[in-house]
Amino acid sequence: MTPLDKLASLPDAANFLRAGVTLLELQQLARALTDVQAAEEHNEARQALFRRAATRTG
């Protein structure tokens, strides 16, 4: 069971999501990306975050 599957199994799962995010959207996104694609997006977002942090502290 993935973390998303566990979240979706909770009776009040929608209460744990950010405003404007739905379980359906998360499930569609999970099916749309391969593990490699998701990892690449994650790494790109992480690098962007560290670049922003470096400009604020540097």
pLDDT in tens, 14-37: 999 999 999 999 999 889 989 899
Mean pLDDT of the chain: 92
pTM: 0.59
Report whether pLDDT(58) > 70. no
DSSP code string of 9-28: HSTTGGGGSPTT--HHHHHH
Task: Quickly state the pLDDT bin for 39 (edges 50, 70, 90).
Answer: very high
C-alpha–C-alpha distance, residues 25 and 41, integer Å: 17
Q: Which two tokens stand for residue 13?
A: 């799962």
In this prediction, what percent of the chain has a pLDDT beyond 90?
Answer: 76
d(CA 13, CA 33): 22
Q: Cα(first)–Cα(last) distance of the chain, in Å?
A: 42
